[in-house]
């Protein structure tokens, strides 16, 4: 069954500064004691958003000017560390639909794509300019043209990189690969019978 | 793209080609996953997705489960006092029962951290593809497997089809030549590599570790190196298989035997990188340059020699770097220009998928005899598996640790990520043999982690401060 084609994402944006923001920061491990992804949005960036008494700290996601933002802007190596899909799930359930960063960790990038949440790689200068523009006009609508690989809004317009596999999967509505993988079942069975270590015990 | 000058292939290319089923419409490859490992944290949602889609586990004999993240290391009897942890272990039991998956439960005597269990059962084999919903899956690359972490939706894909959609990685060869100085370990080697190449240096790459040092390493040392590939940004890291690999695997429960063994070894030998293969990048490191290494910040690449001086944000090369240093020193409560040696330690943690194997406990036991954990330090030694626990006890190692003032615990992930009762409190500082020094990683939002080798953890435990183990334990240095 074809999924929604994700050719563009529009909405207001928020800048969460920092390099090497890891998935423990995005969703601390203690909130992963669960058997579903429901409710993870509440704990997004918990330990940098709340103090130890549970009171809001000074953080962009606690700033009312950015409430309702659906595009996250950040710096390099976003989503590094643990492979936990709980991290993109928490972002998605909080309300984010796309991330713009200078670079992404590999596993995190794949996990986001599989949820239909585009990750766009932007030059450091473009990230700073966009962050400054969003700070100036928090409500400005920002558009990620996934298909054309451009970001526009708040008086800016620049190109981004979305690697070909993710790009094609998103715009064709095949970002969840399960249906296509299942079409390969017969070829998989053949390959298993060819590989000695897999043929045994089948 | 580098041009192909030769006919040889590296191990990554050979294993990839053997498991690449077909090309997908977006250009990715449908890659066959030979061996799938699962644990209680990242699998329950995947089984839920299978149920929602009305699917079965397609090849249940190729998935193996254990429980590690949430298991208390002191309370080994169910129900666990934490109802959430108890619900998770029950869910894993239900899922593995319902879908016919082999599960190394607590009662089997084979439970442990998934990356310790796979090798010790002989499930981890050269030339295979191994996936697990856990970023430290590269550990299995020590055997010449292509092993990597995946997300939960991909866990579903493997359960349903035994494949995932993946783009091919580039391969960076990292040569470490020479011999380590006394008191320097495999852990220092990988921390040195990460510090040199950066936490994002390996994005898009598989790391092939080689050179005379890696060849001289035991399988457990190779596992320590491969384990932390992801901390350098590389999803996958491996060492070419050799006689040591085969000897390690001989006679293990899931290793082939008889005629199958001889055939398997022949196949395993042939998948090692060819002498005339190409790499996308090559890095050369001298073993003699590597010192006992510790982290000083909140990213694994913020690491230096134990005798290093903390960086000054004022002299950073860029604004971004200045902010990173400033943020890290502030969080760690450390001063620019100071030494890290002498910083007070509250907790010493020995264990994890990086350093929770028998050889780690043996090595530390050599040094801590006759020493006592310093007053005010909580020190725990946590075997990586129930089998490591039994083997260590047979040698009396647990008594050496207990005599020195460590608590000897049951097998699990413990304080590496604190999804169980082992957690830092407040801004406690932990000398840790684990793999991540992220903010809050060890369970307290202001808890501080300093990563180091097991022997360095022991030195911190007995001296009460971050120390050079070579001084604390009077490790004799080779004359120069």
The pLDDT value given to residue B211: 98
The alpha-carbon gap from B366 to the nearest alpha carbon of chain A, in Å, equals: 33
ipTM reported for the complex surpasses 0.95 = yes
Check CB contact under 8 Å for A85 and B53: no
pLDDT at A198: 85
Q: Which residues have a Cβ under 8 Å from the Cβ of B345 and sit 6 or more positions away?
A: B377, B429, B430, B431, B450, B460, B461, B464, B465, B466
**CA nearest neighbour of B176 among B191, B195, B189:** B189
How many C-beta atoms surround the C-beta of residue B426 within 10 A? 11
CA distances for A78 relative to A43, A120, B167, B218, B379, angstroms: 18, 11, 19, 34, 33
Closest CB to B418 among A29, A81, A115: A29
Average pLDDT over chain B reads 96
CA–CA gap between residue B114 and residue B117 (Å, rounded): 5
Residue pLDDT, tens place only, A126-176: 999 999 999 999 999 999 999 999 999 999 999 999 999 999 999 999 999
User: Which residue is closest to A195 within chain B, CA to CA?
Assistant: B18
Listed in sequence order, the DSSP H helices in B312-449 are 319-332, 352-355, 358-368, 386-394, 397-404
Closest partner residue to B32 (CB to CB) among A52, A176, A191 is A191
Q: For B75-108, write each residue's pLDDT tens digit.
A: 889 999 999 999 999 999 999 999 999 999 999 9
B31 closest CA partner among B149, B162, B125: B162
State whether B127 and A115 contact (CB < 8 Å).
no
Asked if B436 lies within 8 A of A18 by C-beta distance, the reply is: no
Contacts of B18 in chain A (CB under 8 A): 195
What's residue B75's pLDDT? 85
Q: B390 CA to chain A: closest CA distance, Å?
A: 29
One CATH from 3.30.70.1350, 3.30.499.10, 3.30.1600.10, 3.50.50.60 for B11-281: 3.30.499.10
Q: Looking at the complex, does the CB of residue A102 fall below 8 Å from at least one CB of chain B?
A: no
Q: Report pTM.
A: 0.97
Domain range annotation of chain A: 8-176
pLDDT at position A196: 80
Within 10 A of B61 (CB to CB), how many other CB atoms are there?
13
Query: Is there a contact between B61 and A201 if contact means CB atoms under 8 Å apart?
Result: yes
Out of B18, B48, B157, name the one closest to residue A195 (CB). B18
> Model confidence over B194-253: pLDDT tens digits?
999 999 999 999 999 999 999 999 999 999 999 999 999 999 999 999 999 999 999 999
Chain B segment 119-178 residues within 8 A of A by beta carbon are 125, 127-128, 133-135, 148-154, 156-157, 160-167
**pLDDT score for A133:** 98
Contact B135 A76 (CB under 8 A): no
Q: Which two tokens stand for residue B90?
A: 């029950």
CATH class label, B293-472 = alpha beta
Query: What is the sign of the dihedral through the CA atoms of B122, B123, B129 and B135?
Result: negative
CA distance B297 to B216: 31
Domain pair B11-281 / B293-472, same fold: yes
User: Does A83 contact chain B (CB < 8 Å)?
Assistant: yes
Q: Is domain A8-176 annotated with CATH 1.10.8.100?
A: no
Of the CA atoms within 13 Å of residue B128, those in its CB half-sphere come to: 29
Q: Supply the pLDDT for residue B371.
A: 98
**Size (chain A), residues:** 202
Listed by number, the residues of chain B in 201-220 with a beta carbon closer than 8 Å to a beta carbon of chain A are: 203-204
**pLDDT value for A199:** 73
CB contact under 8 A, B161 and A28: no
- Chain centre distance of CA A29: 18
A2 close contact with B: CB closer than 8 A: no
Q: Which of A81, A86, A182 sits opposite B438 (nearest CB)?
A: A81
Render each residue's pLDDT in chain A as its tens digit; 202 residues. 568 999 999 999 999 999 999 999 999 999 999 999 999 999 999 999 999 899 999 999 999 999 999 999 999 999 999 999 999 999 999 999 999 999 999 999 999 999 999 999 999 999 999 999 999 999 999 999 999 999 999 999 999 999 999 999 999 999 999 999 999 999 999 999 999 888 764 4
Contact A182 B133 (CB under 8 A): no
pLDDT, residue B479, reads 59
pLDDT for B3 beyond 90:
no
Task: Sketch the domain layout of chain B as residue ranges.
Answer: 11-281, 293-472
Query: Is residue B472 classed as helix, strand or coil in its secondary structure?
Result: helix
Q: Inform me whether the C-beta atom of residue A33 falls under 8 Å from chain B C-beta atoms.
A: yes
CA distance B381 to chain A (A): 21
Task: For residues B127-144, give the mean pLDDT.
Answer: 98
**pLDDT of amino acid A202:** 47
């Amino acid at each position: 069954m074809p999924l929604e084609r994700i050719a563009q994402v529009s909405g207001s944006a928020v800048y969460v500064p920092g390099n090497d923001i890891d998935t423990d920061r995005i969703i601390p491990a203690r909130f992963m004691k669960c058997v579903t992804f429901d409710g993870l949005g509440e704990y997004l960036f918990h330990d940098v958003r709340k103090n130890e008494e549970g009171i809001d700290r000074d953080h962009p996601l606690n700033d009312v000017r950015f409430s309702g933002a659906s595009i996250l802007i950040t710096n390099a190596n976003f989503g590094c560390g643990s492979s936990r899909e709980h991290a993109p799930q928490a972002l998605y359930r909080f309300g984010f639909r796309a991330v713009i960063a200078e670079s992404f960790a590999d596993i995190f990038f794949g996990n986001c794509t599989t949820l239909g949440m585009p990750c766009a790689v932007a030059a450091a200068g473009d990230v700073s300019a966009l962050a400054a523009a969003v700070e100036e006009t928090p409500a400005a609508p920002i558009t990620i043209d996934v298909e054309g690989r451009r970001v526009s809004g708040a008086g800016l317009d620049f190109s981004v990189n979305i690697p070909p596999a993710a790009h094609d999967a998103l715009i064709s509505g095949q970002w969840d690969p399960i249906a296509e993988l299942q079409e390969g079942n017969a070829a998989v069975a053949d390959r298993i019978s060819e590989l000695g270590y897999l043929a045994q015990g089948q | 793209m580098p041009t192909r000058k030769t006919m040889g292939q590296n191990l990554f290319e050979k294993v990839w080609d053997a498991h690449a089923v077909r090309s997908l419409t977006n250009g990715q490859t449908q890659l066959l996953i030979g061996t799938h490992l699962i644990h209680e944290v990242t699998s329950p949602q995947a089984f839920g997705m299978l149920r929602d889609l009305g699917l079965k586990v397609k090849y249940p004999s190729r998935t193996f489960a254990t429980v590690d993240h949430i298991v208390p290391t002191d309370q080994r009897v169910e129900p666990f006092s934490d109802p959430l942890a108890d619900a998770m272990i029950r869910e894993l039991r239900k899922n593995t029962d319902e879908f016919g998956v082999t599960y190394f439960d607590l009662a089997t005597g084979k439970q442990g951290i998934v990356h310790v269990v796979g090798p010790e059962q002989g499930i981890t084999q050269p030339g295979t593809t191994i996936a697990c919903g856990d970023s430290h899956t590269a550990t299995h690359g020590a055997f010449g497997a292509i092993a990597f972490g995946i997300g939960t939706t991909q866990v579903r894909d493997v359960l349903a089809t035994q494949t995932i959609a993946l783009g091919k990685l580039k391969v960076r060869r990292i040569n470490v030549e020479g011999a380590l100085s006394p008191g320097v370990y495999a852990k220092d080697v990988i921390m040195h590599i990460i510090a040199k190449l950066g936490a994002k240096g390996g994005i898009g790459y598989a790391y092939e570790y080689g050179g005379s040092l890696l060849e001289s390493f035991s399988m457990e040392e190779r596992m320590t190196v491969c384990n932390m590939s992801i901390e350098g940004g590389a999803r996958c890291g491996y060492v070419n298989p050799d006689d040591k690999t085969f000897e390690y695997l001989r006679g293990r429960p899931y290793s082939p035997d008889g005629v199958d063994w001889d055939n398997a070894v022949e196949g395993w030998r042939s998948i090692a990188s060819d002498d005339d293969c190409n790499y996308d990048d090559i890095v050369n490191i001298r073993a003699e340059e590597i010192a006992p290494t510790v982290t000083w910040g909140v990213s694994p690449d913020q690491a230096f020699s134990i005798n290093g001086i903390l960086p000054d944000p004022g002299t950073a090369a860029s604004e971004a770097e200045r902010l990173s240093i400033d943020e890290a020193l502030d969080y760690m409560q450390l001063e620019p220009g100071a030494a890290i040696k002498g910083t007070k330690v509250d907790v010493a943690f020995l264990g994890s998928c990086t350093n929770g194997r028998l050889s780690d406990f043996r090595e530390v036991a050599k040094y801590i005899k006759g020493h006592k954990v310093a007053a005010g330090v909580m020190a725990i030694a946590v075997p990586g598996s129930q089998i490591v626990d039994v083997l260590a006890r047979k040698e009396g190692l647990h008594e050496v640790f207990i005599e020195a003032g460590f608590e000897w615990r049951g097998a699990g992930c413990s304080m590496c990520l604190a999804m169980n009762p082992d957690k830092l409190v407040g801004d406690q500082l932990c000398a840790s043999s684990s793999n991540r020094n992220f903010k809050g990683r060890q369970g307290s939002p202001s808890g501080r982690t300093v990563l180091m080798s097991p022997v360095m953890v022991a030195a911190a435990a007995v001296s009460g401060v971050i120390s050079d183990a070579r001084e604390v334990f009077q490790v004799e240095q080779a004359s120069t």
